[in-house]
Structure 1
Amino acid sequence: MVYKLKNINVTYGQKQVLHHISCSIEKGKWISIIGQTGAGKSTFVKVLKGLVSFQGDYELNGQPVKQDSKGNIGVIPEIGFVFQYPEHQLFETTVEKELSFALKHKDMTKTVILDRISTILPMVNLSEDILPLAPFQLSGGQKRRVAIASVLMTKPEVLIVDEPTAGLDPINRTNLLQQLKNWQHKTKGTILFVSHQMEDVAQYSDEVMLFHRGYLMGHFPVETLFLKKSSLLKQAGLALPESIQLLQLVEELSGENIQVTSCKEADIFAKVIPILKARGLDDE
């Protein structure tokens, strides 16, 4: 399914928070949404889900989505939305009831629900042993994964995750992002990843949408933004990922133009470390 927005404007009271946003969201991509606080990132993804009113055109697979007189369209069921700190929204007495909640309200049988639970839990690296436990008995990382699993239970085509690693330690952060990547590959789904962590954006993204002061500065392949149009990040008040900063520093020190085609940290290091060693600049 293709989600297409054209000339989208959003106003809260007297303040316009999104200006003339036009873009297309296609299936199967990890698309990171970046920008400083207040740039319009969260408002943009809420427009996609149908959570805020707007002016402009919204199309699904070429068909216009109907709006009421106030600019509301109602929620888009094919889009799952994981809010920041989703574990704060856990409310059922057991993990099983939490995961079952949305599907019970769709009149699905217990057999179907349990079958889906057994499919979803491995995607977020959880075992069925936790099903009878109360959510408050889980670790912070487990709670976060249960909250995400509850959204995945509805089989969304698009999964919006708003700062999903906030408050997690480095190990839980890496594990969670890898599990989201695994879900994307397994289901051919789309992830919209709202984040301030440029290292995570470089590591996992296929594409990046850059917001600044309510405007969309561009929608790029991740390599294009970080390797060819990095000046746009500076204009938006954002820093480059540390691996890209290292690449630029080594180029400056060595006088070499280092050819890279990937923003992933391991790929950058594979190019940079031999040059540092050859010049005696490494730590060894």
Structure 2
Amino acid sequence: MKGKNWREYEPAKKQKNRRRRRKGGFLKKLILAILLFVLGYVGYQIYFHHSKPYIVGLDAGHGGIDIGAEGVINEVELTERTAAKLTELLKADGRFRVVQSRDEGEAKSVTDRNHLFKRARPDLVISLHANASEDSQAFGFECYPSPPGKENHDKSLKFAQYIAKEMEGIGARLRGTDGVRFGYYVSDEEGNTSKLLLDSSDTQVYDYDTFGMLKNMKCPAVLVEQCFVTNQQDVEEFGLEEGCAKSAQAYYRAICKYLAINEEKK
């Protein structure tokens, strides 16, 4: 009976062990599969974020026979000079692809430049301009993000605040509330259009057009007025070769801060 009981018991024991082994093998495979999935996902995210360049839409205002505002220098001189400096910085960084709205000296409508950017699907847009006034004492920096009510307003406002802060850091005197304003075009009953500039503290949503390079953009979009071309000191500080170079550096730093990436150290 003892042997019989032993023979009857042994097969059951082996079967139970086999079940345990099968169960243990399944858990190991499941854990391995989960681990491989996590590693693959993390690897994909690292590859996607670090190998795919950020696309910057860079617009040098005016161009061709349109020289922009006239003063100590012409506005287009400043916009093209700064665009060239910023393009150089972004390309040297290696993490950016620059899409320029036009070539140097080229005339292209705002509508065509806007459509070019929308096709390129940039991560952000910056439109370079300079200010002017009949008062030669007017000075300072200001920038215009997509205004309240626009799909990209919050992102644009954040980007604009970074830009203004960086410009202040290189000595620019900020206009309005911390250098940020909203710009609109208002038409009267006769079809005449005038520009309406409001402080960024006015968060009301208006049914007005905004600047052409900001319209219908999904990404952060900001138009900057780098300095007054009608003010000698402003031009000397921010409109000539050195001033455009340091302004481009400020824009580059703002771009990196907005994208939450470190500046590339040279």
The TM-score with structure 2 as length reference comes to 0.26
Name the structure where helix makes up a greater proportion of residues: 2
* Structure with greater strand percent: 1
TM-score of the pair, normalised by structure 1: 0.24
